[in-house]
């Protein structure tokens, strides 16, 4: 290569570098990096973990949720709970 051509290329590279450093493109670089990142796979629940909950605990949680919905005047949510769990909604009306 001729020295004149090498000087021109060097001048173009220096000018491009100076122009490039004047712009904030970090957000675009982060976006491009995010395209190549893989989402981590969710780890499976270990078999020794015990998530068993008794039926009575579930009923108690349901009543607690319904009570808090009514306490905070979320009447539509309480009505939907009654619709989804109609058997738990039965109240004793025995005399």
Nearest to 62 by CA among 41, 32, 31, 86: 86
Contact 77, 69 (CB under 8 A): yes
pLDDT at 94: 43
Query: Is the per-residue pLDDT at 55 higher than 70?
Result: yes
More confident position, 73 or 95: 73
How far, CA to CA in Å, does 57 sit from each of 40, 45, 47, 53, 62? 34, 22, 22, 6, 9
How sure is the predictor about 47, in pLDDT bands with cuts at 50, 70 and 90?
low
What per-residue confidence (pLDDT) applies to 51? Answer: 63
Nearest-10 crossing angle of helices 75-84, 55-71:
150
Summarize the confidence of residues 26-40 as an average pLDDT: 80
Mean pLDDT on 22-27: 76
């Amino acid at each position: 290569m001729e020295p004149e051509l090498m000087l021109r290329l060097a001048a173009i590279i220096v000018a491009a570098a100076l122009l490039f450093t004047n712009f904030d493109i970090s957000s675009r670089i982060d976006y491009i990096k995010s395209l190549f990142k893989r989402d981590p796979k969710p780890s499976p629940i270990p078999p020794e973990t015990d998530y068993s909950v008794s039926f009575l605990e579930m009923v108690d949680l349901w009543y607690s949720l319904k009570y808090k919905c009514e306490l905070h005047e979320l009447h539509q949510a309480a009505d939907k709970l009654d619709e989804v769990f109609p058997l738990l909604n039965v109240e004793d009306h025995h005399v």
